A and B are shown apart, each in its own frame.
Chain A
């Protein structure tokens, strides 16, 4: 019994001062009037904007900034052939000259629409080589690894004025 109680006590973690940086609380909520005014102004800016939009994507755990007419290379073998058109849905943030939208952690695909076409798919020219280990010669000797890269042309980054 004593041991069990000791274990239970020891499992409790005392919060430290630095937890506020590791796990920050969300910001305080604004008033409804302020949020409606802000959303209206952002919707008006989306309608009236003439410049390009940008978006930040999460591809293979890397953040990439992207605009339209842009080339993107992904160091992975995604299941698509050249000429296929895809829609990027893991958008971390998007914006234009006057505003930025930040997702927590992502923005929904209703608001942002990032479309790209797979242009080519090729293997790496220089293979990654794993040598033989002289201290363990019975182990498998060599492995040439040639990774596959896929490149995309970003056609459009569209924003829709439906913020609430």
Chain B
């Protein structure tokens, strides 16, 4: 068992390159000799991505549109300079935001905890889907805060759906039917004639001439058949067994 180091795989010239962009560099490029793959690579499996279709909660937009943002909670300090821009925003622009979309409820919670150190003022957006998104507003301008709150109001959930193959999601994928290779073939290849069915009628017997003598053939051919009504009553004839008569059904 030996876990080889990654240093020799790293490019030599790191003068202009920052290492911090690859946070999981060691995990993603680790090489172990216990792995199942031939190369020995261990890491993120791209086949296990959680792909989901495009979704919106609560069938939104089918009957009518309902804005999904339930409430906004601003948490800030009453006195510190870190949250000065947010206080200015609340004084000037929050009332217009509240008037434009009355479905949301806005709370402001000034607290002394946010005046200590470099703690950032926050906004937590809660949606009808029971999801929450918290955004730190440290070193944010007044315009940037308004832009963040517009984006939060336009969203419908706080869930992330970043792996999506298609940009559409349907409930009815085909209307004219699925295509297949024999769709455009000529008709007689598709169709197939089934053999004709025959009802049971033992009175109508096909006669081969080679099994009869000439004297008997005339008798057989020109014998007297019963009428159709009597044929239908007992189609198996007078000499049939009792089981055949009872089981038969048209």
Task: Give A contacts to B, CB under 8 Å.
Answer: 51-54, 62, 64-67, 69-75, 81-83, 95-97, 100, 117, 119-126, 129, 131-132, 134, 137, 151, 153, 155
B151 close to A119 (CB less than 8 A) = no
The A interface, classified by DSSP as helix, strand, loop or mixed, is strand
B65 close to A83 (CB less than 8 A) = yes
A151 close to B155 (CB less than 8 A) = no
Interface CB pairs A-B, < 8 A, 20: A52-B172, A67-B170, A69-B171, A70-B170, A72-B54, A72-B167, A73-B168, A81-B154, A82-B67, A97-B175, A119-B61, A119-B156, A121-B151, A122-B155, A124-B162, A125-B160, A132-B17, A134-B15, A137-B16, A153-B62
Q: Complex formed: what's the CA distance from A56 to B16 in Å?
A: 49
A73 close to B167 (CB less than 8 A) = yes
Interface range, B side: 20 to 34
Chain A residue, CB-CB nearest to B15:
A134
A123 close to B60 (CB less than 8 A) = no
Q: Complex formed: what's the CA distance from A96 to B172 in Å?
A: 13
Beyond contacts A66-B168, A122-B154, A153-B62: 13 other A-B pairs, Cβ-Cβ < 8 A, are: A70-B171, A73-B164, A75-B167, A82-B67, A82-B156, A83-B65, A120-B156, A126-B162, A132-B17, A134-B13, A137-B16, A153-B56, A153-B61
B197 close to A (CB within 8 Å) = no
